[in-house]
Amino acid sequence: MVEVERTLVERVAGLRRPLGIAVCAVFVVYAWLVWQAPVDRVQGIIQKILYVHPPLAYGAYLGFVFAGVGGVGYLRSGREVWDHWALSGAEVGVLFCTLMMVTGPIWAKGTWGHWWSWDPRLTLTLLLWFVYLSYLLLRGFSEGGARTARFASVYAIAGTLLIPLNYFVIDLFQGRSLHPENLERGSLGAGMGWPFLVGNVAFFLAFVYLLLLRFEVEIGRGRVSRGSDEAVA
């Protein structure tokens, strides 16, 4: 078991190091493209949060999906590595979701004139954030073990049901939402497509890097915890 974990950590570290260089390079290109992107005639400079806010939302969704996938894997196999994967995904997802909820009100203040409204999308996003923050608190304040991992797995899987609802809630309300509609092909103005595309790639690579880093740390924590238990025994 120890040898398998050591090999896994080495492979993750081997992937993560070159990925970190790629993340830095892509973010430089991304920053330059955003700087060169045209200023929206209606919203002004505040509209450039578009290149940050949706990619953060996609990262949050992806992190929560990884938590659910890890939960399914743990319930099926009972292998601790899946539980590490689920916790890593949830933590990175909460980070992205938090940043999304910071940039969202800034954009709202510049366009709607107020920091927050109980818009359906905003309300569900806040609920989604609380669901997975509670997941992290559950993991942080529990003693761990198989029972906690099983409960957390079911919780993470159930939480993923909010993701499609959060994404499609604007369509369900049929224009009665303050939040703009989901982006579709051709909905961006001239000169905005490339910054948005590269921004999504940059944040995706950053997400993968943080996920691998968190996964590596979690495996290390598991090894230290088992070593402590063996020493006590």
Give the tens place of pLDDT for each residue, 14-50: 788 889 899 999 999 999 999 998 988 878 888 899 8
Q: Which residue has the higher pLDDT, 1 or 222?
A: 222
Structural domains of the chain, with CATH: 2-232 (1.20.120)
What angle (nearest 5°) sits at the alpha carbon of residue 205, between those of residues 200 and 211? 125
Strand partners, 44: 40
Q: Would you give the end-to-end CA distance of the chain in angstroms?
A: 19
Query: What are the structure tokens assigned to 227, written together?
Result: 């070593």
The answer on pLDDT for 225 being more than 80 is no
Mean pLDDT for the stretch of residues 86-113: 91
pLDDT classification of 220: cutoffs 50, 70, 90: confident
Q: What is the Cα–Cα distance from 119 to 96, expressed in whole angstroms?
A: 20
How many CB atoms are located within 10 Å of the residue 133 CB? Answer: 14
- What residues contact 233, with CB distance under 8 A and at least 6 apart? none
| pLDDT > 90 fraction of the chain, expressed in percent and rounded | 48
Query: What are the structure tokens assigned to 222, written together?
Result: 């598991």
Give the tens place of pLDDT for each residue, 163-200: 988 888 776 766 656 666 666 555 677 788 899 999 99
Global pTM value = 0.88
The answer on pLDDT for 144 being more than 80 is no
Q: CB–CB of 205/26 below 8 Å?
A: yes
Closest CA to 139 of 161, 158, 155: 155
